Amino acid sequence: MTDTTRVPLTICWHCDRPLDAATALEDGNHVAAGAVSLCMYCAAVGIFTTDLALRPPTHQELDDLGDDSEFRVQYARFTWARQYVILQSNLLRDREDPDR
């Protein structure tokens, strides 16, 4: 089972939602500076800073992730899990897409 880590409150650069925790997709992974994060609300990519806040990726970082087949697999797994959580937790706003 993966552990959830509390991180400094950061507002998602894409959807403006507050983020204060991170959970690895696989056992053995943990939050660290430079690690990639995905917003549970909108699936935007973020990068952890040295103080574990999140920042938007640079264009180069996003291009590099797009070329990384492992990241693409993990992103697909994440988006499936995200949809499951949204449906199970009834987070749909008036049955509309929760993304802004």
Phi, psi of 59 (to 5 degrees): -60, -40
By the 8 A CB rule, do 17 and 41 touch? yes
Question: What residues does each domain of the chain span?
Answer: 4-88
Q: Answer yes or no: are the C-beta atoms of 4 and 23 closer than 8 Å.
A: yes
pLDDT tens for the chain, 100 residues long, are 567 888 999 999 998 999 998 887 766 667 889 999 999 888 899 999 999 999 999 999 999 999 999 999 989 988 888 888 777 776 655 555 555 4
The CA–CA distances, whole Å, from 28 to 24, 31, 60 equal 8, 10, 27
